[in-house]
Structure 1
Amino acid sequence: MATKVLSEARPAIRSIKRVCRPSFRTAATAAAQKKEGDISDAFASLSGMSFEPLEPRFKEVKARLIAGNEQAVHESWNRLLASLREETSTISKLGSKVIPTIDFKDIDNASDEFRNEHKKRGVAVIRNVVPSHEVLEWKDGLREYIKANPQTKAFPPDNPQVYELYWSPAQIKARAHPNLIKAQRFLMEFWHSKDPHALVSSSHPTMYADRLRMRLPGDAKFALGPHVDGGSCERWEEEGYGRGRPYDAIWQGRWEEYDPWESSTRLPVLSDLYQGVGACMSETGPYEGTLLVNPLLNRATAYFLLRPFFSPKVAAEETTAESYSEAFLHPDNWKMDLANSWLHGATPGHGQELRPSLHPHLNLPSSMIHVPRVNPGDYVSWHCDTIHAVDKVHAGQSDSSVMYIPACPLTVANAEFVARQRECFLNGTPCPDFGGGKGESEHVGRPGIADVEAVNPVEGMQAFGLRQWDSDAPGLTNGQREVMDRANKILDFYD
């Protein structure tokens, strides 16, 4: 079968409905553009909203989730609190040292120690993925692109830090770079499937167009607190994450058996029921506008999912230190409570947020730790369920700049998304997951297909949906061959 590659002269492509962190794009969203906006629209806290009980139907959603397992869930909650107390103490003492680090040249022979720590923590740093001089050239190019297009939207408008840019020359070069695609493949292969026939290939990254940040010293407005990407209320809803049931072990009172790296259960998930707007380029260290993470992957996930099912018997005393007494946190002070519609930190159409007052047992002031100091060309990865945040204040002396470049496997749903995203790329409009509008359609210097091909004519073009996948390549599983064939048909390469 002849290989097909899209060219600039190709007629309009049919639309298919549908930061460094490995994530799964799952299920289809409506074809229409989302409302125009910026990053503040994606989070309740940045939009000035407060957290409060949701509509009454969520009370019934919670009751159905654990029906018949109430006692087992209560017992598992008590075990979880004990485990969290021990683990958060360890994290508080070790800080950034718990985050595994590896050099790009070593990823083909990664040690068992690195692999085990990465699976446990859900966070990793890969050093020297792209040469620093090349990345600094990208950053200079970004500044020129922004200067040439002063109409670019950004947050906050009076002192831009996060730009609504998806198709700048620098982003195109980074996403298609052979080293970055190899690093993504390495990270995605930590995932596995209990279904040998699952239509997913973690060996074949697809491109996802996220934004970029160029945070300036002294900034305190982009104070995005602890949060988790991939929806909020959807994690508890039958028609959201309930479609694939990745969290069943948690709902059944067996949180220790929850496997955050199992992929097949995430394939049917719908993470955007409410149409929410939802690579390092600097030398950046702690308190310099950098990333904070909670490296307690399975425990932290189990906790924020179970938190809405429990309430304290005796409320906490007023505190300004965001810390709580042993008596308040003790399991004996917590009862199962299914009489309310709280989903703590969840708001329809916004990301899942976490706060010490809502999630006291996570001890967020201590368990949210800075990633190690990173340099231009390093790649910071975190699991799609990882709690993460940014420094409240950028107290450094230079900009803290990153491109958000998720690693996404080839799946049927991701192929559907890439088809829509490809049309946005050709037209210069925002990635379908984000605020709509004309985006960069009128920007000077916006790249096209030839620019992707110049960087990486095979894997880069495939990741962008601009070249067909080779389902006849040796060594593929039957599931990989089938998902490639389906993707090629979705992307209009097969009749």
Structure 2
Amino acid sequence: MAAPTPQLPQRFAQIKQDIAASYPDFEKQATEAWTEIIHELNKAAETIGSQGPDFIPQVKFKDLDNLDVATIENIRRVGTVVIRDIVDDPDAIKWREELKTFVKEHPEVDGGLLTFLLPAVFGDPHTRTTGVPEQDKQFFHLFWTKPQVQARSHPNLLTATKWLNQLYRSNSDSPSAELDGVDLSTPLTYADRFRIRHPGKAWDLHPPHIDGALN
């Protein structure tokens, strides 16, 4: 069971109050918007429940430039997609094995920033560790190992990321318009940890969640 998130300083409450005060009928509008969101979430949950995994579109990397309009619009609507075969299996297996070797050979490596965040996120007092759970490590607080960098910088992954960026536009009124400082053709690298899941084992230490402002 994760530990409670520490309470934020009072100034954050004041910021929220100031924002609310700057909008006419804020409470009424916020309540109506929240009600609408809950209604739409209920509809989406029903659809997802009936379709199961098929709700999420799945495509192959080699087909990205030839997808039909209906498929692309479905990806936009759902908001996620599984792109298969971005890298060859031998490359992916090689990275996985190198990651296994790294955590085995470097047990002294700690989680960096995670040594501070882990108590709030996982409720785990043993924060100076390469991975969790301590007795059966599967989730590793490492960000910049060689195989991670190789995976993120793989040409096919960058191509897929660029393709995904092109699904959206920076100005809703003019698809061809560009905003200063916004370049959707240049992928940005998001450095995250990695998990090597053991097949067939239930593990609730890292349940489904939505990342917060700390990320």
Alignment size in residue pairs = 186
Supply the distance in 2 between the matched residues of 1:208 and 1:87 (Cα, whole angstroms).
Answer: 28
Match of 1:213 among 160, 184, 195: 195
1:211: how far off?
Answer: 1.5
Please say if 1:69 is aligned against 2:25: yes
Give the aligned partner of residue 141 of structure 2.
164
Supply the distance in 2 between the matched residues of 1:94 and 1:179 (Cα, whole angstroms).
Answer: 30
Please say if 1:178 is aligned against 2:155: yes
Task: Label 1:75 to 1:173 Cα distance change in 2 as closer, same or farther (>3 A).
Answer: closer
Supply the distance in 2 between the matched residues of 1:66 and 1:101 (Cα, whole angstroms).
Answer: 41
1:109: how far off?
Answer: 1.9
Post-superposition CA distance 1:345-393 (Å, at most 9, x none)? xxxxxxxxxxxxxxxxxxxxxxxxxxxxxxxxxxxxxxxxxxxxxxxxx
Where relative contact order (Cα < 8 A, 6+ residues apart) is larger, the structure is 1
Task: Label 1:73 to 1:51 Cα distance change in 2 as closer, same or farther (>3 A).
Answer: same
Which structure 2 residues correspond to residues 240-259 of structure 1 after superposition, within 5 A? none
Supply the distance in 1 between the matched residues of 2:211 and 2:180 (Cα, whole angstroms).
Answer: 24
Supply the distance in 2 between the matched residues of 1:208 and 1:80 (Cα, whole angstroms).
Answer: 28
Task: Label 1:176 to 1:64 Cα distance change in 2 as closer, same or farther (>3 A).
Answer: same
Supply the distance in 1 between the matched residues of 2:155 and 2:196 (Cα, whole angstroms).
Answer: 24
Task: Label 1:135 to 1:72 Cα distance change in 2 as closer, same or farther (>3 A).
Answer: same
Match of 1:97 among 54, 68, 80: 54
Task: Label 1:206 to 1:54 Cα distance change in 2 as closer, same or farther (>3 A).
Answer: closer
Structure 2, unpaired ranges of 5+: 110-129, 172-176
What is the percent sequence identity of the aligned residues? 30
Give the aligned partner of residue 50 of structure 1.
4
Which structure 2 residues correspond to residues 452-467 of structure 1 after superposition, within 5 A? none
What's the TM-score once normalised by structure 1's chain length? 0.34
Please say if 1:154 is aligned against 2:108: no
Supply the distance in 1 between the matched residues of 2:45 and 2:202 (Cα, whole angstroms).
Answer: 29
1:224: how far off?
Answer: 2.0
Supply the distance in 2 between the matched residues of 1:52 and 1:140 (Cα, whole angstroms).
Answer: 37
Task: Label 1:65 to 1:173 Cα distance change in 2 as closer, same or farther (>3 A).
Answer: same
Supply the distance in 1 between the matched residues of 2:102 and 2:81 (Cα, whole angstroms).
Answer: 31
1:201: how far off?
Answer: 1.2
DSSP-derived class of the 2:38 partner:
helix
More strand by share: 1
Decide whether the 8 Å contact of 1:102 with 1:114 is kept in 2: no
1:159: how far off?
Answer: 2.1
DSSP-derived class of the 2:185 partner:
strand
Supply the distance in 2 between the matched residues of 1:122 and 1:138 (Cα, whole angstroms).
Answer: 28
DSSP-derived class of the 1:187 partner:
helix
Give the aligned partner of residue 227 of structure 1.
209
Please say if 1:191 is aligned against 2:168: yes
Supply the distance in 2 between the matched residues of 1:206 and 1:52 (Cα, whole angstroms).
Answer: 31
DSSP-derived class of the 1:200 partner:
coil
Give the aligned partner of residue 41 of structure 2.
84
1:170: how far off?
Answer: 1.8
Post-superposition CA distance 1:94-153 (Å, at most 9, x none)? 121111111101111222222212222221100110111221122222223333323242
Post-superposition CA distance 1:439-477 (Å, at most 9, x none)? xxxxxxxxxxxxxxxxxxxxxxxxxxxxxxxxxxxxxxx
Decide whether the 8 Å contact of 1:66 with 1:73 is kept in 2: no
Please say if 1:202 is aligned against 2:158: no
Post-superposition CA distance 1:55-96 (Å, at most 9, x none)? 554544333333313323333333333333322211211121
Which structure 2 residues correspond to residues 288-307 of structure 1 after superposition, within 5 A? none
Supply the distance in 1 between the matched residues of 2:45 and 2:33 (Cα, whole angstroms).
Answer: 18
Task: Label 1:113 to 1:151 Cα distance change in 2 as closer, same or farther (>3 A).
Answer: same
Task: Label 1:169 to 1:83 Cα distance change in 2 as closer, same or farther (>3 A).
Answer: closer
Match of 1:110 among 67, 72, 78: 67
Task: Label 1:226 to 1:69 Cα distance change in 2 as closer, same or farther (>3 A).
Answer: farther
Decide whether the 8 Å contact of 2:133 with 2:205 is kept in 1: no
Supply the distance in 2 between the matched residues of 1:111 and 1:66 (Cα, whole angstroms).
Answer: 43
